[in-house]
A and B are shown apart, each in its own frame.
Chain A
Amino acid sequence: MSKKRDRLRVIFDILDVIREKGETIKPTHILYKSNLSHQMMQQYLNELIGKGFLIERVTEKGKNYSLTEKGFNYLKEYNKITSFIESFGLN
């Protein structure tokens, strides 16, 4: 399995955890489910926010995250994305 595929899979797992949880999720739950270090998880979350896949909300109880339409589309088309990227060596 290639490095990029791992990365794409991690992104999928993070987004999938949020989808399964419902509307919003706390970072501790993502950390637990995604099996990443806190630093790595934060890097991924920042990347996913930057890409427009997630929305971060800061409340009195702390941060929470929810999926955007782009995030849902990524989950829906994940197989096509990985197949294309893998076959053309874009990893």
Chain B
Amino acid sequence: MVSLGYCPEWFFHQSIGLELVFAVITLLVAIFSFKIYNLSKEKKAIWFGTGFLLFSISYFIQSILNVGILYRVSETIQLVQQASNVINLGLTALHLHMILMITGLVILTHTSLKEKSLRNFLLLLAVTITPIYFSQNAVFLFFVISSILLGFLTLTYLLNYTANKKFNTYLVFSAFLLLFLSNIHFVFSFTDKIFYVIAHYFELFSYLLILTNLILVLKK
């Protein structure tokens, strides 16, 4: 089975379901962010929305292709050649998922920087994606780099909360802290499969907090 980290077999179906939930929540954030851009014409909103749209696409790709793989593997498990094609399809999906997720994180990181330029953005993108592309252990490196970017974003949201102590800034800070912890657990999923499960639940709580914040904003 092609998956991120070492997913326990009993958790594979649940992880697909959770990834679909993440895809829907991140899509909602992206759509609302584009709406905010449309209303305010604040450029940061469109960049933020694009970052979340990439998260959403990456989760959709991962979950939908995992469903496909699950279905086809069960049908063609005896045919080595077809099974190999399925694994290649899974690897393509995996790489696409990683590239989209890292690009989304780089967009959010770049949006949070004071000094913004296309050169800085491309540099950030190059130094994060290139090592993953050439690494022998791309998935492990993907989680390490994602953790670094999420650590930076968590710090950014902590500073945002300390500067503006409100419930909604606290929710977003907590959500990114949980996403950061989730990625740390994904890194350790290579040593014990249970970390893969814990990581998914951290991710779920994180996105539920982001969804709560979105609902509170919509009620204003």
Contacts and interface: CB of A to CB of B under 8 A. Distances in A.
A44 B158 CA distance: 31
A90 B217 contact: no
Interface stretch (A22-30, A35-43, A56-64, A74-82): A74-82
Nearest to B111: A90
Interface string B186-220: 00000000000000000000000000010011101
B172 A79 contact: no
Given A83-B216, A84-B32, A2 B40 contact: no
Interface in A48-91: 51-53, 70, 73-74, 77, 79-81, 83-91
Contacts of B216: 83
A8 interface: yes
B163 to A, nearest CB: 6
B217 A73 contact: no
Contacts of B218: 80
Given A2-B164, A81-B36, A83-B217, A89 B112 contact: yes
Given A2-B164, A81-B39, A88 B172 contact: yes
Contacts of A70: 39
A84 B32 CA distance: 9
Interface residues of A, number: 23
Chain B interface SS verdict (over half): helix
Contact of B168 (A53, A74, A83): A83
A81 B160 CA distance: 17
Chain A interface SS verdict (over half): helix
A79 B40 CA distance: 11
B42 A2 contact: no
A73 B172 CA distance: 26
B172 A84 contact: no
Residue picked from B39, B48, B216, most chain A C-beta under 10 Å? B39
Contacts of A87: 166, 168-169, 171-172, 213, 217
B56 interface: no
18 contacts: A4-B42, A51-B41, A74-B39, A74-B40, A77-B39, A80-B220, A83-B220, A84-B36, A85-B45, A86-B168, A86-B169, A87-B166, A87-B171, A87-B172, A87-B217, A89-B112, A90-B44, A91-B44
Interface of A: 1-2, 4, 8, 51-53, 70, 73-74, 77, 79-81, 83-91
